[in-house]
Amino acid sequence: MNRTLLSLVVPFYNEQESIAHFFPRVTAILDGLDGVDFEIVCVNDGSRDGTYQALVAAARGDARIRVIDLTRNFGKEAALTAGLDEAKGDIVIPFDADLQDPPELIPQMVAKWREGFDVVVARRVDRRSDTFMKRKSALLFYRFHNKLADVKIPENVGDFRLMSREVIEALKHLPESRRFMKGLFAWVGFRTAMVDYVREARSAGETSFSAWKLWNFALEGLTSFSTAPLRIWFYLGSTIALLSFAFACEIIIKTLVKGVAVPGYASLLVSILFMGGVQLIGIGIIGEYVGRIYIESKRRPVYLIRSCFQLDRTEAPSQDGCV
């Protein structure tokens, strides 16, 4: 019987403390899968600590571990893209190094795939390990995004999912440089199943996602899959223009018919400041989309690889990938 190759794709950024916990727990689960061989594709996303050295040390002891070292920190979305491009598996699972997503769920995901599903997403039904603000902001993001965007993202579903080789090949055909992977995963579609789990606390270390990074991430997701903010600003501008016209008519009538004096500088100042603020916000929204066009027009690669390491290969620089 042909054995299935599973690729676990894991971005690492300053995760030196987590590595000692990561490999023993993950390999114990993957070793127990019937009829499945596996590889762990570790992408070092420009870590500033000893993450790369720790990954290479782990790879020297296990030929199933591959280490992809990027030239600098390109961000999680780029690192995840690099891992998906390098993965050889019949099925591929993106995974976080902090172990908040339990690897014990992988056998259930593989079972769902064997039932005929191309994608098996993991949904977080309990996020008490996250802070109150992170839970609430995530809830608001999913609901706001799904109301405005054409591509709906399942609530409380992250990158942790199983995808077949067909899904991975479809993702490789998406050319954008600024990548919002949750949206791209949803955009390609395919037959999808869902399994629920409870999100755990980090195994070690601290998250690198600040409130500012999360805000920018949410903005990236919204502008990647929706032009609704531009459309909203058109309707807002039209409404303000109509109200202004109505107010001008009222002033003319009061002045010519009733002889009422034109209101003074206070109302005029408030109107000018209000309209100035609205215009600046509108320009900012337009600028966000123009900036995306500008970046995409350069056609820069999403990431660059410095070197690849695997036990049965020599470590060598690579510009075109490691597979």
Looking at the predicted structure, is the pLDDT value of residue 95 above 60? yes
181 — pLDDT class (breaks 50, 70, 90): confident
pLDDT value at position 317?
45
CB atoms within 10 A of CB 309: 21
Looking at the predicted structure, is the pLDDT value of residue 250 above 80? no
Looking at the predicted structure, is the pLDDT value of residue 232 above 60? yes
Residue 192 dihedral angles phi and psi, to the nearest 5°: -125, 135
> What is the mean pLDDT of the segment spanning 176-189?
81
What's the CA dihedral at 173, 174, 175, 176 to 10 degrees?
-170
Poorest-pLDDT segment among 29-38, 46-55, 203-212, 241-250 = 203-212
* pLDDT tens, residue by residue, 254-272: 767 766 555 565 566 567 7
Give the closest residue to 163 by CA, choosing from 235, 84, 255, 91: 91
* Residues in the chain, overall count: 323
* pLDDT tens, residue by residue, 188-212: 888 888 888 887 665 554 555 555 5
Is 101 in a helix, a strand, or coil?
coil
Percent of the chain beyond pLDDT 70?
Answer: 70
Contact (CB, 8 A) for 86 and 41: yes
Give ∠ CA 51-54-58 in degrees, rounded to 5.
135
Place of tokens 């491009």: 85
pLDDT value at position 319?
45
305 — pLDDT class (breaks 50, 70, 90): confident
pTM of the entire predicted model: 0.69
Q: Which residue has the higher pLDDT, 65 or 226?
A: 65
User: Rounded CA gap, 99 and 42, in Å?
Assistant: 14
Looking at the predicted structure, is the pLDDT value of residue 273 above 80? no
Poorest-pLDDT segment among 15-19, 41-45, 164-168, 310-314 = 310-314
pLDDT averaged over every residue in the chain: 77
Amino acid (one-letter) located at 301: P
* pLDDT tens, residue by residue, 279-302: 777 777 777 777 777 777 777 788
Superfamily of domain 4-210+301-317: Spore Coat Polysaccharide Biosynthesis Protein SpsA; Chain A (3.90.550.10)
Looking at the predicted structure, is the pLDDT value of residue 320 above 60? no
pLDDT value at position 223?
61
Give ∠ CA 75-81-87 in degrees, rounded to 5.
135
pLDDT value at position 6?
93
User: Rounded CA gap, 288 and 303, in Å?
Assistant: 22
For residue 71, give both structure tokens.
Answer: 């030239």
